Amino acid sequence: MAIDMATRAVEPDRLNAFVGKILGDLGAAASAALIIIGDKLGLYRELARGDALTAAELAARTGTAERYVREWLANQAASGYVDYDPSTQQFSLPPERAFMLADENSPLFIQGAFQMVEAMMAAEPHISERFRTGKGFGWHEHEPCLFEGTERFFRPGYNANLIGSWLPALDGVEAKLEAGAKVADVGCGLGASTILMAQAFPNSVFYGFDYHAGSIELARKRAQAAGVADRIEFAVATAKDFPGTNYDLIAYFDCLHDMGDPVGAAKHVRGALAADGVWMLVEPFANDRLEDNCNPVGRIYYAASTMLCTPGSLAQEVGLALGAQAGEARLRSVVESAGLGHFRRATETPFNIVYEIKP
């Protein structure tokens, strides 16, 4: 149905401002695939070595076709991702940008987020249909790039914060881990968080659980490669049926809001914890009110929530659909509904909030 804009006054300055915003967003969206290509083919990594290169030189070093690389570099220069020197026709990647685009160990490495965007775009026909039916779309139904992308997106934050600040912020947990503790990592995905803890605390034993069999298979291979397979047992299990009791620490990294029945999951945690155990709940940073989440980070998280988190929850039993921006009040309500009495915000980053929960 056509919309009759003649009945609505359009203010020219506001229109021009929005045109500029749309052009910026369209350029970013159209360039996302090129960022993925630059990561996949090693173009950013080669530029990150510090040499200023022509398109032909970059193509030769990466085993790619010069004509494609020339066009890719032109887009990257227009995007402000690489610098271009017209006098030499060379391109360079400043270290500040390489820190985000090429360094896997950087706490701000961003390439995983673009793989998640790739998965969201691939899922669009399915999610559009779910908008009409209200049904869910399971995590396991997405393209494989989602699983790797999610791990690559969250791993830098875990590398930067988990051992140095998050675990020390929990009451008595670090000392238990150093002495030898029993730990469950629920919703572990590809096992990045589990492996990181096992490397830092060799006296403790770790169990990683995820309902997605493909992720568990990869997690086992990665633990083997990291040399900690003797201290980690990965298994396929859900948050409501993972085995074991008397855990000193149960960790949930960025996954409770994805679950269909988070209250049921929390009740299972209560039964699996040792009497003096701690549940570390890590969730995306969010305020309780929408108006307080209308910022660049909230924009990203609401997009992921619409395309990934909410459909994933609706595909499960109960389908509470907390969403990636649930906020502390709703999380506290889930925890208290499960009969857990201690709920404390232990620490936070611009991207995550860490809660300490006890029986």
DSSP string across 107-175: TT--HHHHHHHHHHHHHHHHHHHHHHH-----GGGS-THHHHHHHHHHHHHHHHHIIIIIGGGSTTHHH
What residues contact residue 340 under an 8 Å CB cut-off, 6+ apart?
Answer: 266, 269, 270, 279, 357, 358, 359
Going by C-alpha positions, the residue among 287, 38, 40, 259 that lies closest to residue 145 is 40
Note the pLDDT of residue 3: 66
What residues contact residue 40 under an 8 Å CB cut-off, 6+ apart?
Answer: none
Note the pLDDT of residue 9: 87
Domains belonging to the chain, first-starting first, are: 12-101 (1.10.10.10), 111-358 (3.40.50.150)
Percent of the chain with pLDDT over 70: 98
Q: Is the dihedral of CA 236, 242, 244, 250 positive or negative?
A: positive
Q: What are the residue ranges in the chain where pLDDT is below 50?
A: none
Tokens of 71: 């066009």
Note the pLDDT of residue 11: 92
Note the pLDDT of residue 5: 67
Tokens of 215: 């992720």
Q: Where are the beta strands (DSSP E) in 5-135?
A: 83-85, 90-92
Note the pLDDT of residue 4: 67
Instruction: Give the 3-state secondary structure of residue 237.
Output: coil
Q: Could you tell me which residues are beta bridge partners of residue 251?
A: 185, 280
Residue type, 247: Y
Is the distance from CB of 149 to CB of 119 less than 8 angstroms?
A: yes
